[in-house]
Amino acid sequence: MRSPWVIYLVIIVYYLLGTVGIYFINRKKDSETRRKAWVKHVTYFILISLIYFSIAINVILFRYAAIVIIIAGFFELTKLYVKSGYRHLLFFVASLLVMALLAAAFFSFTWMGQGIILFSFVILCIFDGFSQVTGQLLGKRKLLPRISPNKTVEGLIGGATASILSALVFGKVIPADRTRALIIASVVIIFSFGGDVAKSLYKRKYNVKDFSRVIPGHGGFLDRFDSLIAGGAGVALLSWLGAL
Residue 244, pLDDT above cutoff 80: no
Q: Average pLDDT, stretch 149-158?
A: 91
Grade residue 2 by pLDDT with cuts at 50, 70 and 90: low
Mean pLDDT across the chain = 91
pLDDT of residue 174: 65
Model's pTM, two decimal places?
A: 0.94
Could you give the angle at which helices 59-83 and 31-57 cross, rounded to 10 degrees? 140
Grade residue 77 by pLDDT with cuts at 50, 70 and 90: very high
- What is the share, in percent, of the chain residues with pLDDT greater than 70? 96
* Exposure string for 190-222, b = 16+ CB within 10 A, e = fewer: ebbbbbbbbbbebbebbeeeebbeebebbbbbb
Closest C-alpha among 59, 177, 163, 69 to residue 110: 59
Which segment of 108-112, 136-140, 172-176, 232-236 scores lowest on mean pLDDT?
A: 172-176
Q: For the chain, give the number of residues.
A: 244
Cα of 26 vs its chain's centroid, Å: 22
Residue 55, pLDDT above cutoff 70: yes
pLDDT of residue 28: 86
Residue 175, pLDDT above cutoff 60: no
Residue 172, pLDDT above cutoff 90: no
pLDDT of residue 199: 94
Q: Average pLDDT, stretch 129-149?
A: 88
Do the beta carbons of residue 174 and residue 121 sit within 8 Å? no
Grade residue 218 by pLDDT with cuts at 50, 70 and 90: confident
Grade residue 233 by pLDDT with cuts at 50, 70 and 90: very high
pLDDT of residue 173: 65
